[in-house]
Copies of this chain bind each other. A is one copy, B any other.
Amino acid sequence: MSGAADRPEIPPEEVERVFRKLDEEAESAGYHLNPDTTFTLGLIEGMLVNERRYGYWACPCRLASGRKSEDLDIICPCDYRDADLSEYGACFCALYVSQDVKDGKRKARRIPERRPAEKASAAEEPAAEGPAQGGAAGPAENTPARSGSAPARAETPAGSAPAGAADLKYPVWRCKVCGYLCARDGPPEVCPICKAKKERFERFL
């Protein structure tokens, strides 16, 4: 198990730099980092700790196996982010939040683990401890248990794609404004191309 002693030191400048890059990329594609900057910097630091340990950005709020091939789905941004953003207004970590939550119009709710339990139980190594400040910062209701505790909250069957069209794994959504196509459980909050809102999408396939 990893204690504070063997936690790699991440230079604050590096955390800041990654924060700015992620923030820019998020905004340009219609995503938003948690506006609680202290909280967000803590999560990013956790990811960078994981990068040092495992060689990839394992989610700072989940147990990583340390084997990349098994952790692909929880490399940040994780495969579950967008579904959680749609349903709960935040990803599992609350690193990413929806526009409503960012604007304070909606409070992020406690987020059940969407990752299939089988996958989570394959993790043998503890993940980074998460934000340096422990679990205190950020939107409290939305902050999952951290600090090495296993996310044993697989309350939803989740992860599994909905039936979708005939033999498609996911339904395809079309932005009525610009024609952008994407395949996911539901349309994105905002079209990453033309910034039209979710309500402007239609089921295409």
Contacts and interface: CB of A to CB of B under 8 A. Distances in A.
Given A72-B200, A183-B204, A199-B72, A177 B77 contact: yes
A73 interface: yes
Number of copies: 3
Interface in A176-205: 176-184, 188, 192-197, 199-200, 202, 204-205
A115 interface: no
A2 B204 CA distance: 39
A181 B177 CA distance: 14
A39 interface: no
B194 A29 contact: yes
B192 A193 contact: yes
A177 to B, nearest CB: 5
Given A28-B28, A170-B174, A178-B188, A77 B183 contact: no
22 contacts: A28-B28, A29-B194, A72-B199, A73-B176, A75-B196, A75-B200, A77-B177, A79-B176, A79-B177, A81-B177, A82-B177, A169-B174, A169-B204, A170-B174, A170-B179, A173-B179, A178-B182, A178-B188, A179-B182, A179-B183, A179-B184, A181-B182
Interface of A: 25, 28-29, 31, 72-73, 75, 77-79, 81-82, 168-170, 172-174, 176-184, 188, 192-197, 199-200, 202, 204-205
Given A77-B194, A79-B176, A178-B184, 11 more contacts: A25-B195, A28-B28, A73-B176, A75-B196, A75-B197, A77-B178, A168-B205, A174-B183, A179-B183, A179-B188, A192-B193
